[in-house]
Amino acid sequence: MYCLGIESTAHTFGASVVADNGKILSDVRDVYTSAPGSGIHPREAAEHHSEVASRVVAESLEQASVKTSDLSGIAIALGPGLGPCLRVGATVARSLAAYFRVPLAPVNHAIGHIEIGILTTGATDPLVILVSGGHTAIAAFSGGRWRIFGETEDITIGNLYDMFAREINLPSPAGQEIERLSEKSSRFISLPYVVKGNDVSYSGLLTAAIAKLKSGAQLEDVCYSLQEVSCSMLAEAVERSLAYTKKKELLLTGGVAANRVLQKKLRDVAAIHAASFHVVDSPYTGDCGAQIAWTGMLALRARVTVPVSAAIVRPRWRFEDVDIPWRAG
């Protein structure tokens, strides 16, 4: 069995083919980057996706050496995400599924980040930390769904870095650049640290970091401190959730999972609680077709499909609302 997965929820248009044994046969992406100093512009990103879609899908099938007649299904990320971007991927997936007469598997993008994390690390029943442009959430599986134990009360950690980056005229996404700048400093500037139970709040931290910059603090020092505080806050919330759920595995996934400071802090938390620590394989931290293709494969095997006429986008689709019949627990 082979599944073609299509991702277009935000800045990335991606297509990937996976086999039912979990082998990722191809993962092709083309990422829209915003103009320096501005965030992602949904209409421009959608135009980018329309331009690259056919090439990305064709290259993905070619790299996998899989013909359209070999496909058992097509998976599409229907949400959450930006409406104009989601609609490009959905249109492509619906057309392909109708033309080649194969089932369409609806995939929640966040579940995709979790499933690709589980696939590439071999974790079985982890406490998941999902950190990306769209999410900052701590979740565990119970009773057929992923249950949220903690999350951000306002902006996500990815947003925090990307919005701060706008102030210094960097293009989005910019988390990697913030990490690079942070490595040049070890001078800590005090910034607001806001943890409420298992939840974090980042908007005050963003405002304060921008204010420090404007009042003349060194950019590298602000980046270093912003990263230290944001990652420590999350680590505290994760530790509380880990102590409560008593899970024996910690899985870090999503675009911000690439951040080495966050990895180190969470590895330390896991060690204190004798839990193993896992990070999604590096090519699959950020948005990609593989996360959708693999989750689609799991959905197809569990007979979770949607008629082409009902495959409409869901920009605000929360992942704790998704039934997961393929996972026990």
Q: Which residues bind ligand AMP (CB under 6 A)?
A: 10, 132-134, 158, 161-162, 173-176, 179, 254-256, 258-259, 286-287
Q: Which is nearer to ligand AMP, 92 or 116 (CB)?
A: 116
**What is the per-residue burial (b if ≥16 Cβ within 10 Å, else e) of 277-302?**
bbbbbeebbbbbbbbbbbbbbbbbbe
By beta-carbon proximity to ligand AMP, the closer residue of 11 and 87 is 11
Nearer to Mg ion, 221 or 287 (CB): 287
First to last CA, the chain: 26
User: What does 189 bind: ligand AMP, Mg ion, none (CB cut-off 5 to 8 Å by kind)?
Assistant: none
What's the closest the beta carbon of residue 67 comes to ligand AMP, in angstroms? 30
Asked whether the beta carbons of 223 and 177 are under 8 A apart, the reply is no
Nearest-approach distance from CB 70 to Mg ion, in angstroms: 28
- Please state the closest distance from residue 256 (CB atom) to ligand AMP, in A: 4
Considering CB distances under 5 to 8 angstroms, the limit depending on partner class, which of ligand AMP, Mg ion, none binds residue 259? ligand AMP
To the nearest whole angstrom, how small is the minimum distance from the Cβ of residue 134 to ligand AMP?
A: 6
Site size for Mg ion (CB under 5 A): 2
Question: How crowded is residue 40: how many other Cβ atoms within 10 Å of its Cβ?
Answer: 18
Q: How far is CA 309 from CA 80, 98, 103, 226, in A?
A: 19, 10, 12, 46
Q: Does 132 bind Mg ion (CB under 5 A)?
A: yes
Q: Which residue is nearest to Mg ion (CB)?
A: 132
In angstroms, the CA 53 to CA 45 distance is 12
For CA atoms 131, 179, 294, 62, the dihedral sign is positive
Q: Which of 287, 290, 293, 296 binds Mg ion (CB under 5 A)?
A: 287
- Which of 20, 281 has the CB closer to ligand AMP? 281
Secondary structure (3-state) at 253 = strand
Out of ligand AMP, Mg ion, none, which partner does residue 79 contact, by CB within 5 to 8 A per kind?
Answer: none
Residue 4: φ, ψ to 5°: -95, 125
Asked whether 230 and 160 are in contact (CB, 8 A), the reply is yes
Q: How far is the CB of 132 from ligand AMP (least distance, A)?
A: 3
- Residue 221 one-letter amino acid: D
Nearer to ligand AMP, 10 or 104 (CB): 10
CA distance 275 to 18: 30
Output the smallest distance, CB 73 to Mg ion, in A.
22
Q: For ligand AMP, which is the closer residue by CB, 136 or 305?
A: 136
- As measured in angstroms, the least distance from the Cβ of 175 to ligand AMP is 2
Where on the phi/psi map is residue 296: left (φ > 0), alpha (ψ -120 to 50), or beta?
Answer: alpha
In the list ligand AMP, Mg ion, none, the entry touching 179 (Cβ below 5 to 8 angstroms by class) is ligand AMP
Q: Are strands 104-108 and 71-79 parallel, antiparallel or unpaired?
A: parallel
Residue with the CB atom nearest ligand AMP in the bound state: 255
Q: Which of 172/245 has CB closer to ligand AMP?
A: 172
C-alpha to C-alpha distance for 301 and 290, rounded to whole angstroms: 16
Q: SS3 of 2, please?
A: strand
CB of 174 vs ligand AMP, minimal distance in Å: 5
Distance CA 22, CA 95 (A): 26
User: Which residues are at the interface with Mg ion (CB under 5 A)?
Assistant: 132, 287
